[in-house]
Amino acid sequence: MLANEVAKVAGITVRTLHYYDEIGLLSVTKSNEAGYRNYTDQDIAKLQQILFFRALDFPLKQIKQIMEQPDYDRLKALEWQEELLNKEKKRIDEMLLTIHQTIEQEKAGVKMSNKERFEGFAFDSNPHEEEARERWGDQAVDEANKNVMRMTQDTQEEMNAIYRELASIRHKDPKSTTSQRTIEKWYRFLNEQVTTYSIEAFQGLGMLYIQDERFQKNIDQFGEGLAQFMSEAMIEFGQNKK
Amino acid sequence: MLANEVAKVAGITVRTLHYYDEIGLLSVTKSNEAGYRNYTDQDIAKLQQILFFRALDFPLKQIKQIMEQPDYDRLKALEWQEELLNKEKKRIDEMLLTIHQTIEQEKAGVKMSNKERFEGFAFDSNPHEEEARERWGDQAVDEANKNVMRMTQDTQEEMNAIYRELASIRHKDPKSTTSQRTIEKWYRFLNEQVTTYSIEAFQGLGMLYIQDERFQKNIDQFGEGLAQFMSEAMIEFGQNKK
DNA sequence: ATTGACTCTCACGTAACGTAATACCATATA
DNA sequence: TATATGGTATTACGTTACGTGAGAGTCAAT
């Protein structure tokens, strides 16, 4: 069989066959006197094997190993690959979920602007918040907002105390021991009084402090630049804890 | 923020940031007097947008378009991407099916070849069968063959009855309720009398019916085109059961 | 003999960075 | 103050699995 036919039957291009020949994955005798590649039935069988593994996203190098070494543990390779595929499937499912939500949001966004036109409803979203929501999730933003509002007088007092303490050291290096020790108070306070924060969520919250104008303004009431300082300290805190 | 910190927080490498700068995806001012890249909050927000799309497997070129053109139809892009992801998911499901069968084949295959050695069992393989084996696994072929041979007279009768019933409706739509109800008999018969078939294995067997000449010839003895009809009905059956 | 459809071998292009190599810069410590 | 450490920058080649011509030869049919 000539390359052309083989390619058609296998659903690949001639270039692919050339390439496989070139890298020694599927070496083929050129018997045609004119140098044409002549694929025997055996070659085609081997090609099918190759395509089988390729369809499972094996890199060609590994396929070569599999084909060359008779003691290669095919079974283990296959089981490993199955695992990878399952992970990939999960990843795709997550992406589909995300993309679905985003599409809904996008659609809802259009409705919103219609609503706005007719009801004079002003939705005070700034781009930063939108982005923050996309990246860190509505959960983080909303919980941060709402839980603060639900606080009792006592905890408000405690919170303000921490803010004041942080403000008093806001010109120091956020990475210094003092800063880190104080930001840890903030971390503990949030976990005890507000909601459970993972290290990552805590870092995300820190980023929010400079991303979201409202956070920044609120925080900076205790001292100019406090939001920036806290943000950096919180991110550093997360780094240390990992 | 310097590149290092940005990279750490964003979970990417500095090289990636350089690259994004290089291709103009995330151009950043180098204000540090030493040529250091200085990422503003806006830059970081943009990076987050970029990473959002990248996580959805958008190519960078398209991301650039999305970011540059405010009139770019984000919604359509997202829906298109969703479609692609769904196709990819299907592909992965097919690959998982194939790999699962191959693993079973491999497991059973080793035992088989040992048996073969000691029992002097010579298996007459034709290229079509080879293909079928590679594609659907020794298990399917062998079990289909051998179990049929081991069947008693009674079960043979039962099997033939189902074949005849199927042949009588083979010109109907394989997806019709009648067809599906009858093919279910076949499914139950196989599970009770031959061997346990997963839905996937059952589908694989269905494909075998048109892939493997011998199967096709055998089945078509009960009626021209029966193999084709059964194959389609079996695959449909599997789809419905998932 | 010419045409059209194939074949071959270079050899560069692609995407999204990884990986040195080389040089400059900033800070902490001896 | 010299140096070690660890950051920054640019330049440029390496990677994977081919795609895409370019230029030249080959084959079968007209």
Boundaries of every domain in chain B? 3-72, 80-241
Looking at beta carbons, which residues of chain A come within 8 Å of B135? 52
Rounded-to-integer distance, Cα A27 and Cα B231, Å: 36
A9 touches chain B (CB under 8 A): no
Q: Residue A92: which of B110, B93, B4 has the closest Cα?
A: B93
Minimal Cβ distance to A100: which of B57, B82, B130: B82
- Indicate whether A141 pLDDT > 50: no
Average pLDDT of chain A, as a whole number: 70
Task: Quote the pLDDT of residue B151.
Answer: 44
- Token pair 């805190």 is found at A237
- Indicate whether B159 pLDDT > 80: no
Task: Quote the pLDDT of residue A180.
Answer: 92
Contact A44, A20 (CB under 8 A): no
The fold of B3-72 is Multidrug-efflux Transporter Regulator; Chain: A; Domain 2 (1.10.1660)
Cα B228 to Cα A105, A145, B208: the distances in Å are 46, 62, 10
Give pTM, 2 decimals: 0.48
- Cβ-based neighbour number of residue A145 at 10 Å: 13
Of the options 2.70.150.10, 1.10.490.50, 3.40.50.10680, 3.30.479.30, the CATH number for the domain spanning B80-241:
1.10.490.50
Contact A237, A202 (CB under 8 A): yes
Helical H runs in chain A? 3-10, 14-22, 41-55, 60-68, 74-119, 127-149, 153-168, 177-189, 199-211, 213-220, 226-241
Bigger pLDDT: A50 or A20? A20
3-state secondary structure of B38: strand
Task: Quote the pLDDT of residue B66.
Answer: 79
Rounded-to-integer distance, Cα B115 and Cα A229, Å: 73
Beta-carbon contacts of B125 under 8 Å, excluding residues fewer than 6 positions away, are B133
Bigger pLDDT: A35 or B136? A35
- Indicate whether B183 pLDDT > 90: yes
A100 touches chain B (CB under 8 A): yes
CA A21 to C1' C20, in angstroms, rounded, equals 31
B56 touches chain A (CB under 8 A): yes
Q: Residue A185: which of B28, A168, B50 has the closest Cα?
A: A168
B62 touches chain A (CB under 8 A): no
- Indicate whether A149 pLDDT > 60: no
Contact B172, B179 (CB under 8 A): yes
Beta-carbon contacts of A100 under 8 Å, excluding residues fewer than 6 positions away, are B82
CA-CA-CA-CA torsion sign (B3, B6, B9, B13): negative
**What is the per-residue DSSP string for A54-97?**
HHTT--HHHHHHHHH-TTS-HHHHHHHHHHHHHHHHHHHHHHHH
Which CATH class for the A127-241 domain?
A: mainly alpha
Q: What tens digit of pLDDT does each residue of B53-73 get?
A: 777 777 888 888 878 876 666
Looking at beta carbons, which residues of chain B come within 8 Å of A41? 127
CA-CA-CA-CA torsion sign (A153, A156, A162, A167): negative
In which band, very low, low, confident or very high, does the pLDDT at A4 lie, cut at 50, 70 and 90? confident
Task: Quote the pLDDT of residue A213.
Answer: 59
Amino acid identity for residue A172 in this structure: K
Amino acid identity for residue B163 in this structure: Y
In which band, very low, low, confident or very high, does the pLDDT at B31 lie, cut at 50, 70 and 90? low
CB contact under 8 A, A203 and B9: yes
- Cβ-based neighbour number of residue B123 at 10 Å: 13
Contact A47, A26 (CB under 8 A): yes
Rounded-to-integer distance, Cα B24 and Cα B39, Å: 14
Rounded-to-integer distance, Cα B133 and Cα B141, Å: 7
Which residues, listed in sequence order, are joined to residue B2 by a DSSP beta bridge?
Answer: B38
Amino acid identity for residue B48 in this structure: Q
CB contact under 8 A, B92 and A93: no
- Indicate whether B122 pLDDT > 70: no
CB contact under 8 A, A127 and B45: yes
State the ipTM, two decimals. Answer: 0.48
Q: What tens digit of pLDDT does each residue of A192-203 get?
A: 765 566 677 777
Calculate mean pLDDT across residues A149-158: 53
Calculate mean pLDDT across residues B112-131: 26
Rounded-to-integer distance, Cα A210 and Cα A217, Å: 9
- Indicate whether B133 pLDDT > 60: no
Contact B134, B127 (CB under 8 A): no
Bigger pLDDT: B101 or B165? B165
Bigger pLDDT: A123 or B81? B81
Q: What tens digit of pLDDT does each residue of A43-96 get?
A: 887 887 787 778 777 788 888 887 887 666 767 777 777 777 777 777 777 777
In which band, very low, low, confident or very high, does the pLDDT at B85 lie, cut at 50, 70 and 90? confident
CB contact under 8 A, A48 and B131: yes
- Cβ-based neighbour number of residue A1 at 10 Å: 15
Q: Interior CA angle at A61 toward A59 and A63, to 5°?
A: 70
CB-strand contact A30/C, under 7 Å: yes
- Token pair 């001292």 is found at A223
Average pLDDT of chain B, as a whole number: 70
Bigger pLDDT: A2 or B146? A2
- Indicate whether B111 pLDDT > 70: no
Domain with residues A3-68, CATH architecture:
Orthogonal Bundle (1.10)
Closest nucleotide to A23, Cα to C1' = D17
Task: Quote the pLDDT of residue B70.
Answer: 65
- Indicate whether A110 pLDDT > 50: no
Bigger pLDDT: A229 or A221? A229
Closest nucleotide to A5, Cα to C1' = C6
Tokens of A54: 């390729």
Closest nucleotide to A3, Cα to C1' = C7
CB-strand contact B30/C, under 7 Å: no
- Indicate whether B3 pLDDT > 70: yes
Beta-carbon contacts of A205 under 8 Å, excluding residues fewer than 6 positions away, are A136, A140, A144, A190, A197, A234
Beta-carbon contacts of A56 under 8 Å, excluding residues fewer than 6 positions away, are A78, A81, A85, B95, B98, B99
